[in-house]
Amino acid sequence: MIDFTLTEDQLALQDMAREFAEKEMRPKAARYDQGHEFPEDVMRKAFEVGFLTCTIPAELGGGGLGDLETAIISEELCRGCAGMYTTMMANSLAFTPILLAGTAEQKKKFLTPFTQKMAFASYCLTEREAGSDNAAIRTTAKKAGGEYVINGSKCFITNGGVASLYVVFANAAPEKGLRGLSAFIVPRETPGISVGKVEDKMGHRASNTTELFFEDVRIPAENLVGREGAGFLIAMKTFDKTRADVGAAGVGIARAALEYAIEYAKTRVQFGKPIAIYQAIMFKIADMATEIDAARLLVWRAAWLADHGKPCGRESAMAKLFGTDLGMRVTTEALQIFGGYGYMRDYPVEKLMRDAKLLQIYEGTNEIQRLVIGREVIGPIRERK
Ligand SMILES: Cc1cc2nc3c(=O)[nH]c(=O)nc-3n(C[C@H](O)[C@H](O)[C@H](O)COP(=O)(O)OP(=O)(O)OC[C@H]3O[C@@H](n4cnc5c(N)ncnc54)[C@H](O)[C@@H]3O)c2cc1C
């Protein structure tokens, strides 16, 4: 039986995230966007209500949320401000490899402190020459006695400049290519780490995105997550779990854009009538609302599968692809409904459009999602010589 009813707990969580987005995030979104400033005051409140640690198990002091609950709050929070949402959810992204493949001691030692005071974490996969192509990662982790020595650099790392903990993907056996990749827990205070360029971004400007350098960074061997060589698998399993949330974020931005567009279309009068009456506008709004509902269903399906421990690579890629392409389409159409006013910074829709763009790029570009989906849908292809 299919049941779309949320439980009382899920509804309460949804309400809490919606209220937080409306009261704490939205009123400050334009200011932090324009100032390209880290929203520390909002994050402090987000920590207090548990959004920075929502996926850490309850027994470690976290929220213990499942995948569906995380998707539900992702939609609500991103409706408030995508940049602030990205800051919060980058924590969950960094925690996921530890939750999936870490030992009980690693979880206790490295995740519990996040539940005790406000702190941030980063997931460090991307490099200048290795974006979509993880096999090209050049950061190395050389085993030396009871330690690994990490050398290399990462780019475009969310929370890079504010994090107290990095989960770093590095190659411990470069001759093995992807099969040499491993994941390591690297505390920020370890000597040899430096933060490079802070990126000046088109959107998500409240989030902090930086380069990171690792020069002879020595970490104990017990900071290896899972086994040596399992890094690529851990990175992909992480994305299987987190990509539905990016799809949900697309739905949240789209919902915000639709709400602003409806309000505007009902009050903007041209040719003596509110423009919402004209079919050109009404049909846009109907399509936006329909696609938002469709995207949410894809997101919830992927999250449900993840919650039940079922394979969900294809479904979470579909949720990310459709939800974030939808975010771009809907924000573009909303801006069109605002006409020239939409193009001005005085109105909120241009920010939504700038923010929507990033969701099509991070956690694997949407071209890569199509590769994931296409390969699974088509199956093996025998090339003819
Ligand atoms: C603001 C921001 C925050 C980010 N945060 C993080 C973070 O916290 N941690 C992290 O590790 N990374 C992060 N990233 C990096 C992000 O995941 C990468 O930018 C993304 O994976 C794409 O890599 P790239 O930018 O090098 O593009 P490239 O891989 O160079 O791709 C360029 C273009 O080619 C296309 N392309 C590449 N290969 C193929 C192919 N085989 N088939 C078809 N098309 C292809 C891509 O889809 C894209 O359109 C962030 C990026 C940004 C912009």
Encoded amino acid at 112, one letter: T
**pLDDT given for residue 385 in this prediction:** 72
**pLDDT given for residue 73 in this prediction:** 98
The residue nearest atom 31 of ligand 1, judged by CA position, is: 132
In short, whether 221's Cβ falls inside 6 Å of ligand 1 is no
In short, whether 123's Cβ falls inside 6 Å of ligand 1 is yes
Cβ-count burial 35-51 (b if 16+ within 10 Å, e if not): eeebbeebbeebbeebb
Considering the chain, what is the average pLDDT of its residues? 97
Q: Residue 4 above 90 pLDDT? A: no
Q: Residue 339 above 70 pLDDT? A: yes
Give dist(CA 3, CA 297) in Å, integer. Answer: 12
Residue 319 vs residues 70, 76, 293, 369: alpha-carbon distances, Å: 14, 16, 12, 9
- 68-105 tens-digit pLDDT: 999 999 999 999 999 999 999 999 999 999 999 999 99
Q: Which atom in ligand 1 lies closest to the alpha carbon of residue 126?
A: 11
Q: Is 291 a catalytic residue?
A: no
Residue 143: CB atoms within 10 A of its CB come to 13
For residue 281, what are the contacts with CB-CB under 8 A and spacing of at least 6? 265, 275, 337
> What Rg do the C-alpha atoms of the chain give, in angstroms?
21
Cα 233 to ligand 1 centre (Å): 18
Cα 173 to ligand 1 centre (Å): 24
Give dist(CA 122, CA 362) in Å, integer. Answer: 14
Give dist(CA 209, CA 204) in Å, integer. Answer: 9
Cα 131 to ligand 1 centre (Å): 5
In short, whether 124's Cβ falls inside 6 Å of ligand 1 is yes
Helix or strand run (H / E) with residue 195: strand 193-198
The residue nearest atom 35 of ligand 1, judged by CA position, is: 367
In short, whether 158's Cβ falls inside 6 Å of ligand 1 is yes
Cα 132 to ligand 1 centre (Å): 5
Residue pair 52/17 in contact (Cβ under 8 Å)? The answer is: no
pLDDT-derived band at 383, boundaries 50, 70, 90: confident
**Per-position DSSP letters for 69-100, written without gaps between them:** HHHHHHHHHHHH-HHHHHHHHHHHHHHHHHHH
Instruction: Identify the active-site residue in 189, 215, 363, 376.
Output: 363
**pLDDT given for residue 309 in this prediction:** 95
Cα 3 to ligand 1 centre (Å): 36
**pLDDT given for residue 355 in this prediction:** 98
Token pair of 287 as six digits: 């399509």
**pLDDT given for residue 384 in this prediction:** 82
Pocket test for ligand 1, best of 38, 120, 126, 239 (most atoms within 8 A of CB): 126
Helix or strand run (H / E) with residue 303: helix 279-307
Q: Residue 127 has what DSSP assignment?
A: B
Cα 358 to ligand 1 centre (Å): 10
The residue nearest atom 37 of ligand 1, judged by CA position, is: 132
In short, whether 131's Cβ falls inside 6 Å of ligand 1 is yes
Give the percent of the chain with pLDDT over 70.
100
**pLDDT given for residue 152 in this prediction:** 98
State pTM to two decimals.
0.97
Token pair of 236 as six digits: 């992909």
pLDDT-derived band at 246, boundaries 50, 70, 90: very high
In short, whether 125's Cβ falls inside 6 Å of ligand 1 is yes
The residue nearest atom 50 of ligand 1, judged by CA position, is: 156
Cβ-count burial 318-339 (b if 16+ within 10 Å, e if not): bbbbbbbbbbbbbbbbbbebbe
- Residue among 356, 358, 351 at smallest CA distance from 33: 351
Token pair of 318 as six digits: 């579909």
- 318-331 tens-digit pLDDT: 999 999 999 999 99
**pLDDT given for residue 139 in this prediction:** 98
Cα 357 to ligand 1 centre (Å): 12
Give dist(CA 72, CA 79) in Å, integer. Answer: 11
**pLDDT given for residue 1 in this prediction:** 61
In short, whether 334's Cβ falls inside 6 Å of ligand 1 is no
pLDDT-derived band at 47, boundaries 50, 70, 90: very high
Encoded amino acid at 345, one letter: R
- 139-159 tens-digit pLDDT: 999 999 999 999 999 999 999
- 263-316 tens-digit pLDDT: 999 999 999 999 999 999 999 999 999 999 999 999 999 999 999 999 999 999
